[in-house]
Amino acid sequence: MTSEANTLRPGARRAPQLPTALADLLRNRKKLKNELLEQPNLLSTRIAILGGSTTTEVKSMLELFLLAQGIKPTFYESGYNRYYEDVLFENQDLWNFKPDIVLVHTTWHNVSHFPELMETESEVEQRIDHEMTRFRSLWEKIHSELGAVIIQNNFDMPRLRPLGNLEASQPFGRANFLMRLNAEFANYSHTHSRFFINDIHYLSAQVGLTEWFGNSYWYSFHMALSPTATVALARNVAAIVKSIYGKSKKCLVLDLDNTLWGGVIGDDGLQNLILGKDHAVGEAFLDFQRYVKNLQRRGIILAVCSKNDPENAKEGLSHPDSILKLEDFAAFKANWNPKPGNIREIAEELNIGLDSLVFVDDNPAERAFVAEQLPEVAVPDVGSDVSMYAEILEREQYFEMDKLVEEDLNRAAFYSSNAQRKGAESSFKNYGEFLASLEMTAEIGPFAPVYLERITQLINKTNQFNLTTRRYTSAEVEAVAQDPSFVTLYGRLTDKFGDNGLVTVLIGHVVGEAVEIDVWLMSCRVLNREMELAMFDALIEQCQARGIHRVVGTYVPSKKNGMVAKHYGTLGFTRVDTASGGPDVWNFAVPQTYSAKTRHIRRTTETVLAAAGEEPVAVSSGV
């Protein structure tokens, strides 16, 4: 047992958990709120709730669920059913509030005109156009004038069906009409990166329409959602907000015996494991593996943490029915050491924070031990019934994603390639020889529209190699990309093991003859690969091309970015005297002749804008 595993770091404390019983949640909400507000390092955000119905309860519950995610909201609430007028007529209170996020809380009650009986397809089509025009004008004004991210409810279904089953099948049926509107909302979200659907169509089905809507709540208070439904909605919106701020989990750490298969591989042997369609419980394990595999396909990193001999553990994954294979796991800890220590090592190997991990184990003692020792790690109480594991993981919405971009799909491959890279590292005489063997190529250039989503995602998710931890909304990223008073650079890195994707971002503000670096960050998966040097080389080229004589770097210490405290010093910057307790400020004089610092990365020929607004200039560089 390692001493590290047994030592709880001072100050580390698990955030209070929200009760699952509705009455407990409602009754204790004030106490829970006060407890949650005591958490350190809460992230602040400003949310405007524009309601098509009464939103007091929505606000109250949303506040709790956001605090439980480490996000402290400040709210603006529109008047009852003023969601449209507040925006279109520019309510000054809303404008002065300057929301980061606008939640448009509408339901089927807010559809202005449902089709009349026997209306033709073209008449119904006109009604859809009319509704969409109304909502589009709302969304576009929010985006263009408030600059806020939008979370928009799609539509739930009315509980009553005067047309019976024809409601769903006939174009003039209300259910049919609402489903078509939902499809139109979804289409809008495909083409607008700062627009997110809060899927209350699904939530109402999950809760059940009888529970979702209560006549008495509607007639007494014009609440379109029952208290049960409000909790489901708040949980879902909080998950979306969490993903927007990059606080979703990244890695699923799994036990093996009785978690991924039934039985104990070391005792029962491969042939006696319960896994496969010929056994009721075996099929449930198979389905859980399929669920995990689907998470991995969309970018969730998988790791094993099992008390087993390593060879036995690996043998289990060679079971002919096993959907998960050894190569699906980016980290593999099978030994007899305490699990908290192993999990800490997994986080270190993968270069991700402990707060990015979710640990699933059928053994309640192991769960309790990990939960106590590593409060940052999410440890759901999955029980011991495998058929419920996926349900419980789903309920917590650990892995909610705001957008799915190509880098997400390739992430699992990145990490298994990283394992290969680490294997290769040990066979070289020195690190330089290893880097040379990777045959790395970098593409570095100013922000391009095709990369803006990924750039925004990186800015809002990167914590460790991040000099300032300043977050930008999509609108702000778009704005600096077009603003000639900013220098913007992204970097992609490929090597002989694969494409690492877009891994680094730099934003500098040009002030006179200096550029002040506001954002410089890099994914830790390319740490110690000279990519930061390649970015610096590109920045200096930009400075030389634009007549910038000085680079000003700022390091703002955070709980997680200690690794870059000496970054500017290492690059040759000189530290400026600053007030104690303030950020570190560093200066670098741009030389007339500059020797590239990168030794082992070849830069592709890319287009570099000498200055925004000028014709692109082809630049060829490399080593």
Which residues of the chain form contacts with other proteins (CB under 8 A)?
21-23, 26-30, 54, 56-57, 60, 216-217, 219-221, 227
Quote the least distance from Cβ 209 to other proteins, whole Å.
18
Hey, how many other C-beta atoms are within 10 angstroms of the C-beta on 361?
Answer: 26
**Distance between CA atoms of residues 342 and 336, nearest Å:** 10
Quote the least distance from Cβ 277 to other proteins, whole Å.
41
Nearer to other proteins, 30 or 575 (CB): 30
Quote the least distance from Cβ 214 to other proteins, whole Å.
8
Nearer to other proteins, 227 or 266 (CB): 227
Q: Which of 561, 499, 564, 552 is nearest to 528 (CA)?
A: 564
Nearer to other proteins, 227 or 569 (CB): 227
Quote the least distance from Cβ 367 to other proteins, whole Å.
27
Quote the least distance from Cβ 36 to other proteins, whole Å.
16
Nearer to other proteins, 20 or 92 (CB): 20
Check if the beta carbon of residue 469 is closer than 8 Å to that of residue 518. no
Tokens describing residue 574: 């000189």
Under 8 Å CB-to-CB from 319, ≥6 apart: which residues?
Answer: 261, 270, 273, 275
Quote the least distance from Cβ 156 to other proteins, whole Å.
19
Nearer to other proteins, 27 or 130 (CB): 27
DSSP string, 15-69: PPPPPSSHHHHHHTHHHHHHHHHTSSSPEEEEEEEEESS--HHHHHHHHHHHHHT
Quote the least distance from Cβ 21 to other proteins, whole Å.
7
**Distance between CA atoms of residues 532 and 521, nearest Å:** 9
Quote the least distance from Cβ 213 to other proteins, whole Å.
13
Nearer to other proteins, 61 or 260 (CB): 61
C-alpha distances (whole Å) from 82 to each of 86, 104, 308 are 6, 10, 60
**Distance between CA atoms of residues 389 and 372, nearest Å:** 21
C-alpha distances (whole Å) from 219 to each of 26, 109, 300, 392 are 21, 13, 45, 35
Check if the beta carbon of residue 541 is closer than 8 Å to that of residue 504. no
Nearer to other proteins, 114 or 221 (CB): 221
Q: Are strands 440-445 and 601-603 parallel, antiparallel or unpaired?
A: parallel
Q: Which amino acid is at 328?
A: D
**What is the helix (H) or strand (E) element at residue 458, kind and residue range?**
helix 452-461
Nearer to other proteins, 112 or 219 (CB): 219
Quote the least distance from Cβ 32 to other proteins, whole Å.
12
Nearer to other proteins, 26 or 42 (CB): 26
Exposure on the CB side of residue 207, measured as CA atoms within 13 A: 26
